[in-house]
Amino acid sequence: MNEKKLVQKAKKQNKKALLQLVMQQKDDYYRLAYSYMKNPHDAMDIMEEMIIILYEKIGQLEKIESFYSWSKTILVNLCKTKLKKQHKELLVDDIELHSSTTQTTDPYKYKAETIDIEQLLSSLNPYQAETIKLKYLHDLDNATIAKITNVSVGTVKSRIHHGLNLLKRVYGRHDV
């Protein structure tokens, strides 16, 4: 069944349709939640909360084609709320992009040979780092990032532009 029909069914409180929509993007949701929560258990808890909220608020979704950006915005807001309650930093800044020397079965962790992107991103302000991570690590479009971070698309573009320029200067200095 196509996405549009599933969203229409979900809007009529069809739980199976909603779960099918979520399951189609479960890996993307998990990676996004994990990048904020930094541990698998919290990421899964947040995803469960997201599903409940989606079910309760699906009737408020105005554009059927915006389901995934809407649901990812809810997911990020849940992560930020939980982090705020735990008195942790709100912005993404410690995604594990390399694993230890031992092999891991977690498909969401990267290999040790990967460039230490975290080190490079630490030279950016937290807003630029968050925006660049959402764009390039989570492959989100500028409009979705704008909704998630509650800023204009122009601000998203500016953060990406200035952040990438700074990264180019930092990268050039380190001969990585």
Domain boundaries, the chain: 1-90, 95-176
75 CB-side CA count, 13 A: 29
Answer whether 6's CB lies under 8 Å from 20's CB.
yes
Mean pLDDT, rounded, for 147-174: 87
Distance CA 91, CA 165 (A): 20
Tokens 């849940």 correspond to what residue? Answer: 78
112 CB-side CA count, 13 A: 6
What are 86-141's pLDDT values in tens digits?
A: 754 444 444 433 333 344 445 445 444 345 677 778 888 989 988 998 998 888 89
pTM: 0.67
CATH architecture of 1-90: Orthogonal Bundle (1.10)
User: Residue 169 — φ and ψ, nearest 5°?
Assistant: -65, -45
Runs of H (alpha helix) within 38-111: 40-57, 67-85
Q: Write the CA distances from 136 to 40, 55, 59, 90, 111, integer angstroms.
A: 21, 29, 31, 19, 17
CATH number of 95-176: 1.10.10.10
